Amino acid sequence: MNVIYSLLANRQMLALLLLINIFGTAYGYYWYGSQLENTPAIFWAFVPDSPTASLFFVFVLLGFLLRRNFGLMEALAIITLFKYGIWAVAMNLMTFVTTGSLPWEGYMLMASHLGMAIQGVLYAPFYRIKPWHLIVAGIWTIHNDIIDYVFEMMPIYRDLLVYMNSIGYFTFWLSILSIFVGWYFGYRKKRTTLSFIH
């Protein structure tokens, strides 16, 4: 296990992950482009869920490379990376079950989003999250659900539109689970904590 965390703390690994997340974030915002064009400006910050989650992690990685901790970004990253990583996998699996097929982009999205969820948790021992960081990140996450499913700004999966009420219910409880994951791995007093190798 120490070997794994030594690798995660390696500056070359951090720089590589930073580049991957910058690329993934940019592509994610591009993917949401058509939806953003039809979205009122007041909701823009809450529509591109996954790229915003990876953007939070970009700031986390930049902090690590600067040998600093940005606690609020760490709390936002672990909660939203886990939430939207798992959410996208679930939606693509649901699309496959509903339609009987999935384009290659769907498999790519499942792999990349599963990676999002994993990386957020893997780096948790390096986080320095305070209670107010977790509270703010939790409020952001639940508020995002309200924007998505009350104001109907959710990501568009046309084959699943008939299931929107059920998806909204699932998403709310996934948010609660994600906040718990953020607390358990990123803040809990008895969690594993590590410092970066300088």
Whole-structure pTM value? 0.95
Q: What is the pLDDT of residues 98-117, one digit of tens each?
A: 999 899 889 999 999 999 99
Q: What is the pLDDT of residues 2-25, one digit of tens each?
A: 788 889 999 999 999 999 999 999
Decide: helix, strand or coil at residue 187: coil
Per the CB < 8 A criterion, the answer to whether 21 and 61 are in contact is yes
Tokens of 187: 């803040």
pLDDT in tens, the chain (198 residues): 678 888 999 999 999 999 999 999 999 999 899 889 989 999 999 999 999 999 999 999 999 999 999 999 999 999 999 999 999 999 999 999 999 989 988 999 999 999 999 999 999 999 999 999 999 999 999 999 999 999 988 877 777 888 889 999 999 999 999 999 999 999 998 898 988 755
Tokens of 91: 């939606």
User: 138: which residues sit within 8 A by CB, 6+ positions away?
Assistant: 79, 179, 182
